[in-house]
Structure 1
Amino acid sequence: MKDKNLAKKVKGLRKRKGFSQEGLAEISGVSVRTIQRLENGETEPTGETLKRLSNAMGVNPEELMDWTLIEDKGFLKAMNLSALTFLVFPIIGILVPLIMWISKKDRLKDINEIGKSNLNFQITWTLMLFLGYIVNAIILGKEFYSTDVVLVDAVISSQRRLIVFFFVMYALNIALIVINTFNIQNDKKVFYQPTVTFIRN
């Protein structure tokens, strides 16, 4: 095969997507033997084979031909740190890293793992933040209608709960972003918890 890089690209992308050769063969309709020969550089893929493999792995044939797994820790750290924009407004802490992730998706080493982990956490964190605010408002409402609680005391208590809650939530988010930036620098796995998986692919 003249294009040795294509063999590496197909094999690398398959592994990045979590497919075995057998699994990719089953989904794409391309035989295992063809995939093996392609990845070993023994044959050149036909247009149809390239199209089937690209569709199975969720990329365009052109992207597969041009695809190179580049290591760029600087961009990964910047994408991770961009979540700190939640300090301006929580939704921005989702949008900025989302835009950065989409711009380089499947083109940088570890970008999908880091991007999805960060985004899933930021979405979860934002929902928890608003849920905590709502719960506190419900508690305040119950205290407001309680004959045993003075309104001023209820408001002060509500404010204290919100301050403590916001402090813990914001400190957790900042700490995880900073820790995971160091993890990226040191080639360690990122860790974001608690997280609900909203983004899978």
Structure 2
Amino acid sequence: METGKLIKELRLKKGMTQEELADKTEVSTRTIQRIENGDVDPRSYTLQMIAKALEVDFSLFVNTKTDESDNTIQGTEINWLAFLHLSGLIPILIPTLLMWNRKKDKTKEMLTHFRAVVSFQLIILAISLAGLWVYWHSHQLIPFVGALLAGGLVSIVNTIQVLSGKPFIHPFFKHTDISRKG
């Protein structure tokens, strides 16, 4: 069921008018009308406010996309997940954290991929630090460079795997499957 139709159905079950829902959500009555008619796709924050006013779980609205728009959303989700894996090229957590924070409520499976990428980055960071320790004591740069190259290779492979809808390699070398619709 489309989000707007679901909101209208829930609103009517509660015996609320569009004006009452608008007052409870701090959204204009016209916006409520446009959402219910399917003229606009509400933002995540607006859906959260509507869910709170209707006393339903926010996740009810997240999975209500129509079949024809689902493929587009799935494609966008795949791109974000692939980009998240690509951020693993650099064992610095800030870009990964920023990306996860921006898309955590909008992209399915983001938490699973985020955990995998962060775990992997921490492993590469630990190996790199150990490699630097080896370099400091024996002047052998190979472990440090090898860790960075291995990390980059796995990040690129995982990005390609996610883009093609195939399982990606988890840091503990367990394949994790994401299913692609369509």
Task: Choose the corresponding residue for 1:44, options 13, 21, 24.
Answer: 13
- Counterpart of 2:50 in structure 1 is 62
- Counterpart of 1:73 in structure 2 is 74
> Unpaired segments of 5 or more residues in structure 2?
17-46, 173-182
Q: CA deviation at 1:194?
A: 1.9
> Once superposed, what is the RMSD of the aligned Cα atoms?
3.8
* Kept in 1: contact 2:131–2:143 (CA 8 A): yes
Q: What is the alpha-carbon distance in structure 1 between the residues aligned to residue 90 and residue 152 of structure 2?
A: 12
Q: What is the alpha-carbon distance in structure 1 between the residues aligned to residue 50 and residue 142 of structure 2?
A: 56
Equivalence map 1:6-155=2 (5 Å): 6=6, 44-45=13-14, 60=48, 62-63=50-51, 67=61, 69-70=64-65, 71=70, 72-83=73-84, 84-87=86-89, 90-102=92-104, 105=105, 111-113=107-109, 115-141=110-136, 144=137, 154-155=138-139
* Kept in 2: contact 1:117–1:192 (CA 8 A): no
- Counterpart of 2:171 in structure 1 is 194
> How many residues matched?
127
Q: CA deviation at 1:90?
A: 3.0
Q: What is the alpha-carbon distance in structure 2 between the residues aligned to residue 176 and residue 162 of structure 1?
A: 21
Per-residue deviation, residues 118-138 of structure 1 (Å, max 9, x unmatched) = 211121122112211222233
TM-score (norm 2): 0.53
SS in 2 for 1:169: helix
TM-score (norm 1): 0.48
SS in 2 for 1:112: coil
Q: What is the alpha-carbon distance in structure 2 between the residues aligned to residue 125 and residue 93 of structure 1?
A: 14
